[in-house]
Structure 1
Amino acid sequence: MIPTVVTPAIPFLGAVVMALIGAVVGVSVRTLTTRLSGAEPWRGACEIACATGGALATAATWPAAAALALLMWWCVSCSGVDLLVRRLPNVLTLGGGLAVVTIGACAGHGRAAVVGAALLTGVMLTAHLLSPRSLGAGDVKLAIGLGAAAGVAGAQAWMIALLLPPLLTAVVGSVVLLYRRLGRVSSGERSSGSTVVPHGPSMCVATMLAVLSAG
């Protein structure tokens, strides 16, 4: 009898298929991002991000993988608009938040989704009221969907979604500020002012890492 070699072909093929689907979805995400922001994102950025998200979603079992892919593609849309115009439109934040809570409820995790959304939104709202310039109203609305997703993933994931974004934004802001100052020094310009980094992308990245780490 000839021995049979078993290889993990199905998971690999699944990741490839989801990456291809993500790339196709990325075209629609780019169109949506351009329409909502009035500016066009970097060519290929949405497609690559959505393809990566689709491939990473296969770490979960079906149908959780489909829900995770949708969450990632929504995060790409929100992050793209926020990076381009420093604004998060209601159609994305509120519409996406409602969709995440609804999907969580349909999957039997309605209470966790609602509690996670309420707690994260409450924390973000408090921060916004204390310092409106540091945290916009759009970030508060974005917390609805992200809090729901993290709540479904568990308490540890929710804590990551809460604590990691400020650190990510601070690191990115420091790098951007240093880059601009070095550019001004090399060109002989005077370094002045500060840089504003949108907080939405950090919230999205932190939540996706939290959900993926929760398995």
Structure 2
Amino acid sequence: MPSPARTPFTLGYAVVLVVTGLFSRLADPDLVHDVLTHSSTDVVNLSDRPVLVLFASAVWVAGGVLTPYILAFLLVVGALERRLGGWRTAGVFLLGHVLATLMTELPVAASVAAGQLPDSSLRRLDYGISYGLLACTGALAGLLWPRLRWTLLGGITLVLVLDLVEFTDPLTDCGHLLALTTGVLCWPYIRRAVQRREPGPSGRAPRSA
């Protein structure tokens, strides 16, 4: 479980998510919708203020303060931070969030420009921590025992593919798969980082599982 000494990034971020979750639950619905609209990583907002909106979209959690996402965040990101450190964990989270966002929204912009999608596609509500959380999940899997690693990745991938097949929100579902893949691609980096942080008894870094 997270602790202030070992996982300051996780706990600090969780406090922000609780505050924004309470705001979305208790504030005036019109105000909440307006704030979320300005925080959404849709094509229009990304074109106008890309850096601000990429950060702003990641301080909200879909479903509000009672969502299971916050518990999953504490468990997954906290476990990764204990092994990898706060700055590197934040980097994995941000990498997954940014890459998945851009790789899903840029094709939308290109399709609208080519006349394949209507202009309304440039505006949509797209916010939350799911991309960063899935990137951290994929990264954390690289530090687990092989059987647990592939069970975790297989189960999550199956759920994400089933969501994509339902075609309820294909853009977000594709982003989820991309974010998970981003975390998996970080395995060589995080294993080297963990080995430097956790040398074996002889002073040499232990071999990765």
What TM-score do you get using the length of structure 1 for normalisation? 0.36
- Determine which structure has more spread, i.e. the larger CA radius of gyration: 1
What TM-score do you get using the length of structure 2 for normalisation? 0.37
